[in-house]
Amino acid sequence: MSLRAPEARRSNALHAGAWWLWALGLAVAASRTTNPLLLALLVAVSAYVVAARRTDAPWARAYGAFLKLGLAVLLLRLVFSVLLGSPIPGDHLLLTLPEAPLPDWVRGIRIGGRVTAEQVVFALYDGARLAALLICVGAANALANPARLLKSLPGALYEAGVAVVVAMTFAPTLVADVARLRTARRLRGRAAGGVASVLQVGLPVLEGALERSVAVAASMDARGFGRTAPVAAALRRATAVLTLGGLFGVCVGAYGLLAGDGAGYGVPCAAAGTAAALAGLRLGGRRSVRTRYRPDRWGARAWLVAGSGVLVAALVIALDGPALHPGVVPLAAPELPLWPALAVLPGLLPAFVAPVPKEARP
């Protein structure tokens, strides 16, 4: 098969799960470092792929919203550090805020007081890590079609998946409706801003949302949504044990992967938990009698996209060292480590192998 990216069509569309695995790999890599230069490189990689492969669908606008959310988280972390203090010692005093007296039972917490450059830089590094993690997850929201992701879910998760997809698509559709109605008001010579215009636009938006809800409910009822097949009691108990035990193992493994010193037990726990959860979901899928029309295929390009994100996470974990966690005492400028920076570059692979949307063609 040629690896040159073809034009995206229904027959060769990339599996939505591949985008999520790629984005989660970048998010795991971001959680393993506080180096702002490396975090900026991860964000740049995700932004380049999103710019090269996103469509004009409503959910594709999610990346900009996650960028703003990341910046808000970063600013909030800095504000909390300035107002509530930090245990990081420092000699470079920036300012001194009025300190509020607190009772003895909250000893260790202060409001106001000394603000040093070391504590601000530490808060900046910590907030940048969380912001980069959110932005990487936003890349998956912008690239993966939520409706097609729903089609790939196991039968045991279909009902929950429908609720999640409806929740994920409601906000972008609502924003699109508001933009459409405001444009119509401007074309008619009416004001598009202010409280009065918002109130006048609100009723048509709610009416459209209600009509879509009724249409979705009717289509789901016509397709027999919610029908289940009879399952033996022993099979239900085995399904519950495998699913809950597997999810617990996945949580423990995820904590180990995200923690600084838990990589040793994180991988085996995550692997065992994933295997048990998949077995439980497969057994639980027997109660679902739904069929799939033209299910998405997991092809070579999906393996390349998902594997590039997993490779970035594995390399960053393997290259863990002091360069990934620059210190703030003594205060010094961070340096970009060569090998971890090179380990992030495989995350660019989806921009060259994933099918190209029609509107992205030159």
3-state secondary structure 244-274: HHHHHHHHHHHHHHHCCCCHHHHHHHHHHHH
pLDDT tens digits for 90-101?
788 888 888 887
State the pLDDT at residue 22.
96
Domain match, 240 and 222 both: no
- Name residue 115's beta-bridge partners: 95
How many independent structural domains does the chain possess?
Answer: 3
Do the Cβ atoms of 254 and 272 come closer than 8 Å? no
Say what percent of the chain tops pLDDT 70: 74
State the pLDDT at residue 27.
94
Domain match, 184 and 220 both: yes
Do the Cβ atoms of 53 and 65 come closer than 8 Å? no
Domain match, 36 and 96 both: yes
- Name residue 111's beta-bridge partners: 100
d(CA 257, CA 251): 10
Residue 17 counted as domain residue: yes
Residue 1 counted as domain residue: yes
d(CA 326, CA 34): 7
Domain match, 277 and 237 both: yes
State the pLDDT at residue 361.
45
Domain match, 260 and 158 both: no
Contacts of 362 (CB under 8 A, 6+ apart): none
Domain match, 110 and 213 both: no
State the pLDDT at residue 196.
64
Domain extent, residue 275, equals 230-287
Domain match, 2 and 137 both: yes
Give the Å distances, CA to CA, from 46 to 261, 300, 353.
26, 21, 15
With a cut of 50, list the residues of the chain below it in pLDDT: 1-2, 360-362
State the pLDDT at residue 97.
84
Rg (CA), the chain: 24
State the pLDDT at residue 41.
97
